[in-house]
Structure 1
Amino acid sequence: MVFSTSASIDEYGRHVYSDDKSFSPPYDLTPYVREDTLDKYPEIADILNQLIALSPDRERAATPERVAKCRKVWQKPNAEKMVPKEVVHKYLYKSKLNR
């Protein structure tokens, strides 16, 4: 079993079957921060809320087309062998969340 947005699906010629019985739950983003961290850095709450609001899947069904689009987005960092820190930095910069 794989996540339907995994970039390796296309890379290895795998096929994702439709989930017509809604077996898999939706991929809802949920921020989790320790209370002591939030007390020390209260601005984190606002930043995380802005980040969650940018989620392209928010309040929309995961159609096969949208899932395929997500896979293509994830393929680029994998193909370019980018480290996670670099991927996050580029995303935050593009989303204007880096301060």
Structure 2
Amino acid sequence: MPKLSEVCHHVRSKNAGPFWITLDFSFADQQAFDRYCNAPAFDPATIGQTMNVDASLVKVFRVPKLRVVKVSYPRRKPQGGMLERDMHGGQQYVRFLDLEMA
């Protein structure tokens, strides 16, 4: 079964304000997007479990014209706090790269 890193053309994470992180999963072509955009890896329960956040707060947006799946979830601690390890949210995507796609 292919991993997310093998089916996505580009993966990134970034700040979505001081309390949220947004992930962008881009696909190289429409066929790949159509095949994987509804994969369990993009399910709020999977995202919640992977990032240790409440799945009911996870937001998933599929943008077919751009061949992108966008996922937003709340940070466990606000940006810039004393224990913040990734202030810009740029490393959060790494946990998703090995998720298996259905």
Q: Same fold (TM over 0.5)?
A: no
Larger radius of gyration: 1
TM-score w.r.t. the length of structure 2 is 0.31
TM-score w.r.t. the length of structure 1 is 0.31
Higher strand residue share: 2
